[in-house]
Structure formats: structure tokens, C-alpha cells
Chains A and B, each alone.
Chain A
Amino acid sequence: SQQGEEDPQALSIQEGENATMNCSYKTSINNLQWYRQNSGRGLVHLILIRSNEREKHSGRLRVTLDTSKKSSSLLITASRAADTASYFCATGTGNQFYFGTGTSLTVIP
């Protein structure tokens, strides 16, 4: 399967703590993206990292990509209750993407 796989499946942390999610994939990619989904809603694009990049930051988000290990991590710093959502990585080439099964993050106020 070309799908990415997120780890852990579920994560529960206290507000203010950092949250780290990992994504592993199997095939060569042009880029990897992270998305957030609040319950029953559409996905929101968080960050895109290209295959020739190793790290990218956006606000409280930090994404790393290791193409040799076919893995990526998403770090959310100083988490807030509003960060409670499911997080998905998407891998692919061109404009066809495959999503992992997601990490369900719960931030406890």
C-alpha cells in the first residue's frame, strides 16, 4: 500500500505540553503533507514538505522528513485544547495523495 501510517493511533496530553506524531510510508514521494481534521469535518492543510527538504516550521508546528527512513514527524509545541483533532499525513507524487489512518490527539485543558 502507498498509504502512510501514523503513530501513535491516539495521543492524550495536557495543555501546554508538546505533541509528536510520526508517519511512515513505503514509496518514493515528491512531497509529504500534514492535515488536521476536526470531528466530522473536512481536512485542513497544515504544512507541506518537499522531498528535498529536511525540516520545516509553521507557527507552533515543526515537521521533519527523512527520506532515507521514509518517515516524517509532526511536532506541535505548547499544545492548546483547540488542537484536539485527528492528524493525517499524506504522501504521493504529482497530485495524487494517499492518507494514513491518522493520529487522534486529545489535549486536556
Chain B
Amino acid sequence: KAGVTQTPRYLIKTRGQQVTLSCSPISGHRSVSWYQQTPGQGLQFLFEYFSETQRNKGNFPGRFSGRQFSNSRSEMNVSTLELGDSALYLCASSLAQGSLSYGYTFGSGTRLTVV
């Protein structure tokens, strides 16, 4: 079966612009999580969506937002981009049932560069 698909793979944006990243989870996975990875901070949890509802949110400013559609596809948006937003953004889907987790399947990520 197809893996987690993230688009685009690479993106260059200018400070102040906004960006939308897309993630299609594995078929049947209803949970989608987003992470930001930078050399200095490592993997930082952004948010998790399940059945179109945001269930958990990390410690990021309101410029970072997301949503999930009825087909479980998810998008995240970053507005008013800053140089520090340059990072690898990773999406992960999971077959989660209550408190049980079966691990994430990650996409290859979107490399965002803000200039």
C-alpha cells in the first residue's frame, strides 16, 4: 500500500510570506501528526489531528496552523514566515485506537527554506 505522501518535497519562500504543506496518510490511518525538525531543536511536535479534529498541539505560535479533511488528508499552514521557520517538516500517520498506538509511519518530509 502507498506510504505517507508529503508535497512539495522542497520549498523556498521569502520572509513574511505564507506556506501550505500537504500530507496524505496511509489509507485507513485517521491520525495525522506534524513535526518540525531542525538541527538545533531536533524533532518538535506541532499538532495531531484525528477525524478532522485537532487533538493535541505543541508549543508553537499561532502562525502555525493545520487542518484535516474528511478523507484524513492534512495540511499545515505557516503564516508570516520567519528565517527560523526553515526546517524539515515531517508528517506522520498512525492507526491509533484510544490510548493504544501502533507507531508512526512518516512521510519523506518537506524541506522549507525561508530567505
Contacts and interface: CB of A to CB of B under 8 A. Distances in A.
Main secondary structure of the interface of B (DSSP, over half): strand
Interface in A91-109: 92-102
B111 to A, nearest CB: 7
A47 to B, nearest CB: 8
B108 A99 contact: no
Interface residues of B, number: 30
A99 B43 contact: yes
Interface stretch (B63-71, B73-81, B93-101): B93-101
Question: Main secondary structure on chain A at its contact with chain B?
Answer: strand
Contacts, number: 69
Most buried by A among B45, B94, B102: B45
A94 B96 contact: yes
A99 B96 contact: no
B45 A48 contact: no
B31 interface: yes
Interface stretch (A19-27, A37-45, A59-67, A73-81): A37-45
B105 A88 contact: no
Contacts of A42: 4, 6, 90, 106-109
Contacts of A31: 101
B50 A88 contact: no
Interface of A: 3, 30-31, 33, 35, 40-45, 48, 88, 90, 92-102
